[in-house]
A and B are shown apart, each in its own frame.
Chain A
Amino acid sequence: MQMNEPVNEYNLPDAKGHYGPYGGIFVAETLMHALEELRKNYEDLREDKDFLAELSSELKNFVGRPSPIYFAKRLSEQLGGGQIWLKREDLNHTGAHKINNTMGQILLAKHMGKTRIIAETGAGQHGVASATVAARYGMECVVYMGSEDIKRQSTNVYRMKLLGAKVVPVESGSRTLKDALNEAMRDWVTNVNDTFYIIGTVAGPHPYPMMVRDFNSVVGNEIKDQMPTEIGRHPDAILACVGGGSNAMGVFYPYIGEKNVKLIGVEAGGSGIDSGKHAATLCAGQPGVLHGNRTYLIQDKNGQIIETHSISAGLDYPGVGPEHAWLKDNGRAEYVSVTDAEALDAFHTLTRVEGIMPALETAHAIAHAIKIAPSYDKNKIILVNLSGRGDKDMDTVARVSGIHL
Chain B
Amino acid sequence: MKKIQSRISKKFEDIQSANKKALIPFFTAGDPSAELTVKLMHLMVKAGADVIELGVPFSDPMADGPVIQRSSERALKKKIDLYQVLEFVKDFRKSDSITPVVLMGYANPIEVLGYAQFAILCKDAGVDGVLTVDYPPEEGRDLNTQLRKHGIDSIYLLAPTSSAARMEAVARMAGGYVYYVSLKGVTGANHLDIDSVAQRIPKIRETVRLPVGVGFGIRDANTAKSVARVSDAVVIGSRIVEEIENSREDKIEQNLYNLLTEIREAIDEC
| Residues of B with C-beta under 8 A to A72 | none
| Residues of B with C-beta under 8 A to A25 | 136, 138-139
B144 contacts A by Cβ under 8 Å: no
Q: Scan B26-44; emit 1 where CB is below 8 A from any A CB, else 0.
A: 0000000000000000000
B194 contacts A by Cβ under 8 Å: no
List residues of A (154-203) whose CB comes within 8 Å of B's CBs. Answer: 172-173, 178-179, 182, 185-186, 189-192
Main DSSP-derived SS at the B contact region: loop
List residues of B (56-90) whose CB comes within 8 Å of A's CBs. Answer: 58-63, 65-66, 69-70, 73, 76, 81-82
> Given A32-B162, A303-B113, A304-B109, 15 more contacts at CB 8 Å?
A16-B138, A26-B135, A27-B62, A28-B159, A29-B156, A29-B159, A30-B181, A186-B65, A186-B185, A189-B63, A288-B112, A289-B111, A301-B112, A302-B81, A303-B112
Q: 4 closest A-B pairs (Cβ-Cβ)?
A: A33-B161, A303-B112, A303-B109, A190-B185
Of all chain A residues, the one with the shortest Cβ separation from B162 is: A29
Q: Given A288-B111, A289-B111, A305-B60, decide whether A26 and B136 contact each other with a Cβ distance below 8 A.
A: yes
A299 contacts B by Cβ under 8 Å: yes
A32 to B156, CA, bound (A): 13
Inter-subunit contact B161/A34 (CB<8 Å): yes
Q: Given A189-B63, A190-B185, A291-B62, decide whether A24 and B112 contact each other with a Cβ distance below 8 A.
A: no
| Residues of B with C-beta under 8 A to A190 | 184-186, 189
The smallest C-beta distance from A185 to any residue of chain B, in angstroms, reads 5
A297 contacts B by Cβ under 8 Å: yes
Please pick, from A30, A34, A182, A302, the residue contacting B60 in the complex, using a CB distance under 8 A.
A182
A29 to B208, CA, bound (A): 15
List residues of B (113-143) whose CB comes within 8 Å of A's CBs. Answer: 113, 133-136, 138-139
B16 contacts A by Cβ under 8 Å: no
A86 contacts B by Cβ under 8 Å: no
Please pick, from B139, B156, B170, B186, the residue contacting A189 in the complex, using a CB distance under 8 A.
B186
A287 to B133, CA, bound (A): 19
Q: Given A172-B66, A190-B184, A304-B76, decide whether A33 and B162 contact each other with a Cβ distance below 8 A.
A: yes
Q: Given A26-B139, A30-B157, decide whether A297 and B62 contact each other with a Cβ distance below 8 A.
A: no
| Residues of B with C-beta under 8 A to A305 | 59-60, 108
Inter-subunit contact A173/B60 (CB<8 Å): yes
Q: Given A28-B157, A172-B66, A192-B184, decide whether A289 and B162 contact each other with a Cβ distance below 8 A.
A: no
